[in-house]
Amino acid sequence: MGAERRAAELQTTVEAILTPAVAAAGYDLEGLQVTKAGRRMLVRVLVDKDGGISLDDVAVVSKACSKALDEADSTGGPFAEAAYTLEVSSPGVDRPLTEPRHWRRNIGRLVAVHIGEEPVIGRVTATSERGIELEADGVRRSATYAELGPGKVQIELR
């Protein structure tokens, strides 16, 4: 089996272990990356929730992930024979807005997005199960999630 295939299988295995652990702690798993870092493996976990996350939240998720990985390793899990480093953080402002929950968490923020082929910069004013509402240049616009490309929060200096 090739190295790329083993890496993909390891990623899938770790994701299957951590997704329910993160959800049970009350957070959303927004990203996961498993890479080799010298002799160790590096497990980077990105989590978020409505209202954002604090350092205390990072500690809670870190403990939940560590416990889940340790329990899996006790039965021959992915790191039973290998050392790993666990990093837990929030996705950051540069994360693309691709899921309805991402848009919901950014109501009130200025975003850049393509609606169909048209680039739009506007403030997210509302979200629903179907899509979002933006105010761009004083005009309210609606778009379904299917019409939206990935959005990007714009940094505003006040």
Mean pLDDT by 10 residues, the chain (158 residues): 79 95 96 90 94 93 96 87 91 90 94 95 96 95 95 90
- Looking at residue 104, what is its pLDDT? 95
> Which residue, chain included where needed, has tokens 């393509």?
114
Q: What's the pLDDT at 1? A: 57
Per-domain residue ranges of the chain: 3-89, 100-153
Buried b (16+ CB within 10 A) or exposed e, 5-38: eeeeebbeebeebbeebbeebebbbbebebeeee
β-pair type (40-48, 84-89)? parallel
Centre a 10 Å sphere on the Cβ of residue 57 and count the other Cβ atoms it contains: 19
Closest to 88 in 3D by CA, of 21, 32, 144:
32
3-89 classified as CATH 3.30.200.20: no
Residue located via tokens 């837990």: 88
Query: What pLDDT sits at residue 2?
Result: 75
The CATH architecture of the domain made up of 100-153 is: Roll (2.30)
